Structures are given as structure tokens and as C-alpha cells.
Amino acid sequence: MNDFLFGLMIALSVGPVALMIASYGMRAGTATGVRAAIGVAAADGCHAVVAFTIGAMLAGTLASHLSLFRMVGALVLLAMGARMLWQALRDRRRTLDGDVAPPRSNRPFMAMFFVTLANPLTILLFYGYATAAAGAHRHWLLGAACVFAGSLIGQLVFAFGGGAIGRFVKSPGWLAASHVVAALVVLGYGVAGLMRV
């Protein structure tokens, strides 16, 4: 149960990943947001497998290369934020030109899977949790499955929320503005990450 709650709490913390999932839901619909949410939960499950099996052996490596992990994570956030901003501005231009075709999904599962895998904060959170929960009597696979399930439920909140906003907010101007704001926040997280390196 603790593993499930850990996955749920990580998922429900609002950060760049949550904004990206909601943005997928707003831009391309709930189904696309759900695919993005599953990608994040799958990555969280992978983190859990590594943390519960060989996390103790990797502790020294993680600690000695922390600045590298932070830099890679910040660069990934900058790239995703720039991509989100470009898509938001492109979609706004298309709307103003009268071309209102729904945007393509652009592989939300894979994009969010790799963004989450590269997030250094997530790596450290999983290692810390695995160290603290080392005395728990459970199989590593069951623990990872519980983390995945908790994460998936939390991520789906953002996917369905983004999809609902996209359906109910009919003003292309408001939707474009919300996409631009989400992209700027993700870019801000990336810049803040680079400043901490």
C-alpha cells in the first residue's frame, strides 16, 4: 500500500510533467493525454524496478554524477518546453488562418516516457524511497507494480483534466494562451534546473 501511495503522491505533485500531460489532453484530446499519462507511469515503474533491485549499488554513482543528471534533466525540460511553445504558436496561427484540423499526437507515450526517465528529481526520489522502504517485506515486482498503478491513477487526473479543458474552452485564443503559459512554465523549470547545476 505504501508503494501505491508513493506512486500516487509523485504523480499528483504539479510540475512540468503534469503540465505536459494536461497540455497533450488540451491540444489533442483525452485519448492522447491518457497515452502521455501511461508513458509517465511506465517510466515511474521502470524507476521503481531499478530502485528496488539495484538502487543501493547505484547510490554512489548517482551521488557522484548528480550535476550531470541535473543538467541532462534541465536540457530535456528546455527542449520539451521549446517544442510545446512552438506547437502552441503554430496551432494558434493555424486557427487564425481558419485551418482548425485537430493537432497530431506526436507520440505522447514515448515523449513522456523519456522525459520522465531523464528527470533527475524522480531518480533521486525513487532511490530515497527505496532506501527508506528497504525493510518492507514485499517482492520488488509487486512494489514496482504498485508504484506504477499509483502513478497511473495520478497522471490520469491531469490527462482527463486537460481533455476536459480542451472540450469546454471553445475559444481558440484562450486555448492557445493556456498552451503558451504551460510551455513557458516548463521552460522556466528547465532554466531553474540549469541554474542549480
CB 143 within 8 A of CB 52: yes
Query: What local confidence, expressed as pLDDT, does residue 97 receive?
Result: 57
CA distance 71 to 117: 14
Query: What local confidence, expressed as pLDDT, does residue 148 receive?
Result: 94
CA of residue 37 relative to chain centroid, distance: 8
Query: What local confidence, expressed as pLDDT, does residue 41 receive?
Result: 95
What pTM does this model have?
A: 0.79
Query: What local confidence, expressed as pLDDT, does residue 100 receive?
Result: 54
Q: Which of 24, 28, 16 is nearest to 184 (CA)?
A: 16
CB 140 within 8 A of CB 51: no
Residues of the chain with pLDDT under 50: none
Query: What local confidence, expressed as pLDDT, does residue 101 receive?
Result: 53
Query: What local confidence, expressed as pLDDT, does residue 156 receive?
Result: 96
Supply angle C-alpha 41, 23, 93, rounded to 5.
150
Tell me, what DSSP letter sits at residue 103?
P
CA distance 49 to 140: 7
